[in-house]
Amino acid sequence: MTADPVPNASTRVRRFPTLGPELFDALREDRPRRIALQVPAGLVRNATDLAERIREETGIPVVLAGRACFGACDVPSRDEVPNADVSVVLGHAPIPNVTLPMPTYFVEMRVPAEDPERLVRTLEAAGIPRRLGIVASVQHLGLVDPLSEALTARGYVVRVGQGDRRLAYAAQALGCNYTGAEAIAGEVDAFLFLGTGRFHPIGLAFAVDRPVWSLDPLQNTIESPIDRPALVRRRQLLVASVRNVERWGILVSTFAGQNRTATALALQERARSRGRQAEILSFARIDPRDLEGRNVEAYVNTACPRIALDDSALYPKPLLTPPEFLMAIGELPLDPYRFDTYH
Amino acid sequence: MTADPVPNASTRVRRFPTLGPELFDALREDRPRRIALQVPAGLVRNATDLAERIREETGIPVVLAGRACFGACDVPSRDEVPNADVSVVLGHAPIPNVTLPMPTYFVEMRVPAEDPERLVRTLEAAGIPRRLGIVASVQHLGLVDPLSEALTARGYVVRVGQGDRRLAYAAQALGCNYTGAEAIAGEVDAFLFLGTGRFHPIGLAFAVDRPVWSLDPLQNTIESPIDRPALVRRRQLLVASVRNVERWGILVSTFAGQNRTATALALQERARSRGRQAEILSFARIDPRDLEGRNVEAYVNTACPRIALDDSALYPKPLLTPPEFLMAIGELPLDPYRFDTYH
């Protein structure tokens, strides 16, 4: 599925490695009247202190965006913080092909690169394959080069892919887009993800038919691959179970980087041509309660693909990605399974 | 607390008693390119059928607003349905002093007036006081005049108040504003609410120190008054419990009719002058999860007053209304309790 065409991203996007003097200098120079500060869920505990720090360093009023961000796709809209004229977004890199609602300072929260030799010993001990593609969360991108060099010195073959216009950096992982990994999948026996948590390894496992190992660079711990066939089989069974559904809801989010209205309209057209009912539901952030009690049998979600894949237990009805929906109404085969890569 | 000053409401607001030919004619005449349909929680089950009916009657594409509405204050923003150029909002009357984001058709879902004689017999049997103020939900406003006449014929003294600029009709109840009732509280011994549910009776009991009886006109059943002192005492105890809180969050919603940014800034100023920390959090619809894990001890909510009063059990921290916050920091006495009437 392709995102709706957007003009090139605003030029008023700036990137900073950490929340430090470079950011404060830039804010003091640009002199916004009010700053919207948005933090990822993991930093919510520190949000008020971070807001106070920015205010003290710059002398500019700060408003906290009430909801945490999950990606550079759901930055604050003008509607959510109408009195702010710039956003400071922590923990994410800009998505190059997304047009932002206001000037935005992305603070990528990079962590210093850890000792690659120590990490290589862990990888060797785990018996990781020798032809490797590397993917990393933004925080750990600084480790990609030193670790690749250390691995190559030990005889590993390391590949790093450059993704499409949705990815700012080579090797970068985005929950909805692993096109960098897809580009080199044919050259490697496995992928190595650098970062924490299972969110990116699961996405990567959906996107590429290769084992995905995860290395937490801070803990120096490695996790062996998740069971891709089980993930895919569960989705194929879900798709098969809704093949006869007559009443569909098509979900559209209006977040800057998640709005696929054109895709939704195209899916509605396909559904109708196959004799199904399909209503479009529009929202900013979706809440499972919004789908309760509706006279609809199943949904296709054109917003973040990970909502359908990861959060389905929270929803009262089956929730499919766009390619899964096309499988359900008979426009695509069930196999091979297609990840909803968001371009 | 006063709402932020707003210009007079858009002139492109239209009112319709029901979802019928008048509405369809108006839509066909005005020829919007796309309609956003928003329904209250009680009509969510019918939303897709209603959307289809409007589309069939008018030939105009319809998008459903993903979230249900709780009042004419939280109509769809342009941000939530960017492709729609008019909204059809069911179940509410316009709030005259709210500027709307787009042309809006309010369909008030009026119900035909029931037999007043039958209802009067129920009221008499329940022993309701003889000097009565009448308040009604929008659906039942058509019953106010015939019922008042029938009651007057039996020797009752009936009063109906005209509220402030937030109320479109005399006798109208709004969850955040009972100024019509407040205006006549001195002339009556009790209030009679015409409608269903406990939402309005509870709000009315917070706003006026008079017993509030509820008559469900469809079921012809009457509920005796709720215990106002218990409601108020619970809030006063909550306020007393947060008197020493140092770290406050001030919540601001950006919904068209709930945005009290100026109030929030004034409260922040008061908090700081009393030596408290107070950060402003901005959001469209608040979700209790947004307040989890924050390094804040208590909140004051400048959005819908009923969130603090009715939904507090859903929130992880104490949630106060603006007057309650002023009580907590010592700027207002605990007694008499002040309802957060939203003007």
Mark which of A84, A107, A130 sits at the end of a domain. Answer: A107
- Whether residues B48 and A77 touch (CB distance < 8 A) is answered with no
A159 Cβ neighbours under 8 A, 6+ residues apart: A131, A132, A133, A134, A184, A187, A188
- Is A231 within 8 Å of A218 (Cβ atoms)? no
pLDDT at A113: 84
CATH of the domain at A188: 3.40.50.11850
Q: How confident is the model at residue A11 (pLDDT cuts 50, 70, 90)?
A: low
Residue A135 lies in a domain: yes
Residue B340 pLDDT more than 90?
yes
pLDDT at B1: 44
| Residues of chain A with C-beta less than 8 angstroms from the C-beta of B84 | 282
| Residues of chain B with C-beta less than 8 angstroms from the C-beta of A277 | 48, 52
Q: To the nearest whole angstrom, how far is the Cα of A267 from the nearest Cα of chain B? A: 14
Averaged pLDDT of chain B: 94
Interface of B with A in 26-85 (CB under 8 A): 36, 44-49, 51-52, 62-68, 76-84
Mark which of B196, B226, B256 sits at the end of a domain. Answer: B226
- Domain hosting residue A75, numbered range: 13-107
- Distance of alpha carbon B328 from alpha carbon B236, whole angstroms: 9
% pLDDT > 90, chain B: 94
Does residue A236 share a domain with residue A141? no
Does residue A248 share a domain with residue A166? no
Residue indicated by tokens 């858009």: B10
% pLDDT > 70, chain A: 97
pLDDT digits (tens, 9 = 90+) for A283-340: 999 999 999 999 999 999 999 999 999 999 999 999 999 999 999 999 999 999 999 9
What is the signed CA dihedral for B165, B169, B172, B178, rounded to 10 degrees? Answer: 20
Does residue A251 share a domain with residue A222? no
Whether B297 has its CB under 8 Å from any CB of chain A: the answer is no
pLDDT at A227: 93
- Is A48 within 8 Å of B249 (Cβ atoms)? yes
Cis amide linkage into residue A146, ω under 30° from 0: no
- Whether residues A290 and B249 touch (CB distance < 8 A) is answered with no
pLDDT at A1: 44
Does residue B80 share a domain with residue B19? yes
- Distance of alpha carbon A127 from alpha carbon A330, whole angstroms: 42
- Distance of alpha carbon A87 from alpha carbon B24, whole angstroms: 42
- Whether residues B249 and A48 touch (CB distance < 8 A) is answered with yes
- Is B24 within 8 Å of B117 (Cβ atoms)? no
pLDDT at A9: 42
Question: Could you give phi then psi for residue B201, rounded to 5 degrees?
Answer: -55, -40
Does residue B266 share a domain with residue B213? no
Averaged pLDDT of chain A: 94
Query: How many other C-beta atoms can be found within 10 angstroms of the C-beta atom of residue A243?
Result: 11
Mark which of B226, B248, B281 sits at the end of a domain. Answer: B226
Residue B9 pLDDT more than 50?
no
| Residues of chain B with C-beta less than 8 angstroms from the C-beta of A276 | none
| Residues of chain A with C-beta less than 8 angstroms from the C-beta of B49 | 295
What DSSP line would sit under B268-304, residue for residue? Answer: HHHHHHTT-EEEEEEESS--GGGGTT-S-SEEEE-S-
Q: How confident is the model at residue B113 (pLDDT cuts 50, 70, 90)?
A: confident
| Residues of chain B with C-beta less than 8 angstroms from the C-beta of A46 | 295
Residue A218 lies in a domain: yes
pLDDT at A5: 37
Helices and strands (DSSP H and E) totals, chain A: 10, 14
Residue A343 lies in a domain: no
Alpha carbons within 13 angstroms on the beta-carbon side of residue B286 total: 28
CATH of the domain at B316: 3.40.50.11860
- Whether residues B294 and A44 touch (CB distance < 8 A) is answered with yes
Residue B5 pLDDT more than 60?
no
A8 or A27: which leads in pLDDT: A27
Residue indicated by tokens 């103020």: B133
Q: Comparing C-alpha atoms, which of B69, B70, B66, B29 is closest to residue B51?
A: B66
Does residue A219 share a domain with residue A246? no
pLDDT digits (tens, 9 = 90+) for A213-231: 999 999 999 999 999 999 9
pLDDT digits (tens, 9 = 90+) for B70-90: 999 999 998 899 889 999 999
**3-class DSSP assignment, residue B26:** helix
Does residue A195 share a domain with residue A141? yes
pLDDT at A343: 87
Does residue A184 share a domain with residue A218? yes
- Is B304 within 8 Å of B253 (Cβ atoms)? yes
Best of A67, A99, A268 to disrupt the B interface (most B CBs within 10 Å) is A67
CA distances from B141 to A240, B9, B113, B131, B179 (A): 50, 22, 8, 19, 16
- Whether residues A51 and B293 touch (CB distance < 8 A) is answered with no
Q: Could you say which of B45, B254, B280 has the minimum Cβ distance to residue A79?
A: B254
Residue B156 pLDDT more than 90?
yes
For residue B22, give both structure tokens.
């008048």
Residue B6 lies in a domain: no
- Is A253 within 8 Å of A306 (Cβ atoms)? no
CA distances from B3 to A43, A269, A279, B69, B78 (A): 32, 44, 36, 20, 21
CA distances from B229 to A86, B177, B280 (A): 47, 20, 32
Q: Comparing C-alpha atoms, which of A245, A279, A51 is closest to residue B50?
A: A279
Does residue B287 share a domain with residue B239? yes
Helical H segments across A129-195, by residue range? 144-153, 179-184
| Residues of chain B with C-beta less than 8 angstroms from the C-beta of A259 | 82
Residue B121 pLDDT more than 80?
yes
Q: Comparing C-alpha atoms, which of A158, A173, A148 is closest to residue A71?
A: A173
- Is A257 within 8 Å of A284 (Cβ atoms)? no
- Whether residues A36 and B67 touch (CB distance < 8 A) is answered with no
Does residue B60 share a domain with residue B120? no
Q: To the nearest whole angstrom, how far is the Cα of B1 from the nearest Cα of chain A? A: 20
CATH of the domain at B101: 3.40.50.11840
| Residues of chain A with C-beta less than 8 angstroms from the C-beta of B36 | 282
Q: To the nearest whole angstrom, how far is the Cα of B201 from the nearest Cα of chain A? A: 25
Residue B8 lies in a domain: no
Beta-carbon contacts below 8 Å between A and B: 133
Beta bridge partners of B89: B38, B106
Residue A261 lies in a domain: yes
Residue A10 pLDDT more than 80?
no
**3-state SS string over B127-180?**
CCCCEEEEEECHHHHHHHHHHHHHHHHCCCEEECCCCCCCCCCCCECECCECHH
For residue A203, give both structure tokens.
């996405």
pLDDT at A170: 96
A196 Cβ neighbours under 8 A, 6+ residues apart: A137, A216, A218, A219
- Distance of alpha carbon B312 from alpha carbon B297, whole angstroms: 14
ipTM of this predicted structure: 0.89
Residue A204 lies in a domain: yes
Q: Could you say which of A36, A64, A279 has the minimum Cβ distance to residue B64?
A: A279
* Range A61-75 burial, b when 16+ CB lie within 10 A, else e: bbbbbbbbbbbbbbb
Helical H segments across chain B, by residue range? 21-30, 47-58, 116-126, 144-153, 179-184, 199-207, 228-241, 261-273, 305-310, 322-328
Does residue B195 share a domain with residue B176? yes
Whether B251 has its CB under 8 Å from any CB of chain A: the answer is yes
pLDDT at B343: 87
Residue B221 pLDDT more than 60?
yes
pLDDT digits (tens, 9 = 90+) for A163-178: 999 999 999 999 999 9
Name the residue in chain B with its Cα closest to that of A256. B79
- Distance of alpha carbon A217 from alpha carbon A192, whole angstroms: 11
Residue A49 pLDDT more than 50?
yes
Number of domains, chain A: 3
pLDDT at A195: 97
- Distance of alpha carbon B23 from alpha carbon B27, whole angstroms: 6
Q: Could you say which of B44, B81, B283 has the minimum Cβ distance to residue A293?
A: B44
Residue indicated by tokens 């984001």: B101
Q: To the nearest whole angstrom, how far is the Cα of B335 from the nearest Cα of chain A? A: 32
Average pLDDT over every residue of B218-243? 96
- Whether residues A284 and B79 touch (CB distance < 8 A) is answered with yes
Residue A221 lies in a domain: yes
Question: Could you give phi then psi for residue B132, rounded to 5 degrees?
Answer: -125, 135
Does residue B256 share a domain with residue B213? no
Q: To the nearest whole angstrom, how far is the Cα of B135 from the nearest Cα of chain A? A: 30
What type of residue sits at position A90? L
% pLDDT > 70, chain B: 97
